[in-house]
């Protein structure tokens, strides 16, 4: 993650898309990435994908913190095939209540039960929550 941080900090504007697929990104790495975005919100990508990696609740808590800030303009968050369970879904669902920028959240292939999916009922209409395997 540190190798990615240096070039990111030199940018003036956001990336259109930033993707980590099968790269072993864990909770600590998600926290580190979110910390960068919190320090420099202009770097937040329009679409962020962290797929088939190794993060769960702590990573979800960090992503939720990012989604809660008014300056976050992320439009798409794709986090399929990780270790996200119902408690991580609840964190993300809470963050969506006040977020008007995120249009799509992909969570397919995680460890959510009906309870986890129901957490998104409060944010219904603001953001499409994708369950099936399909990429945006």
- Tens of pLDDT along the chain (136 residues) come to 767 767 777 887 778 999 999 999 999 999 999 998 998 888 899 999 999 999 999 999 999 999 999 989 999 999 999 999 999 999 999 999 989 999 999 999 999 999 999 998 877 667 888 876 444 3
d(CA 11, CA 13): 6
End-to-end CA distance of the chain: 24
Contact 92, 127 (CB under 8 A): no
d(CA 51, CA 126): 23
Question: What pLDDT, on a 0 to 100 scale, did the predictor assign at position 132?
Answer: 60
**Strand positions, DSSP E, the chain:** 17-21, 47-51, 76-78, 104-106, 128-130
Question: What pLDDT, on a 0 to 100 scale, did the predictor assign at position 136?
Answer: 34
Residue 58: is it exposed, middle or buried by C-beta count within 10 angstroms (0-12/13-18/19+)?
Answer: middle
Question: What pLDDT, on a 0 to 100 scale, did the predictor assign at position 8?
Answer: 76
């Amino acid at each position: 993650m540190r190798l990615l941080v240096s070039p990111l900090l030199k940018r003036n504007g956001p990336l259109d898309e930033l993707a980590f697929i099968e790269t072993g990104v864990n909770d600590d790495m998600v926290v580190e990435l979110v910390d960068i975005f919190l320090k420099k919100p202009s770097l937040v990508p329009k679409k962020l994908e962290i797929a088939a990696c190794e993060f769960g609740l702590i990573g979800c808590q960090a992503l939720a913190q990012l989604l809660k800030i008014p300056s976050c303009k992320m439009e798409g968050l794709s986090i399929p095939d990780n270790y996200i369970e119902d408690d991580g879904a609840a964190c993300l669902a809470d963050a969506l209540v006040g977020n008007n920028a995120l249009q799509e959240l992909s969570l397919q292939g995680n460890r959510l039960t009906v309870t986890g999916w129901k957490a998104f009922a409060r944010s219904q209409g603001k953001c499409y929550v994708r369950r099936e395997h399909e990429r945006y």
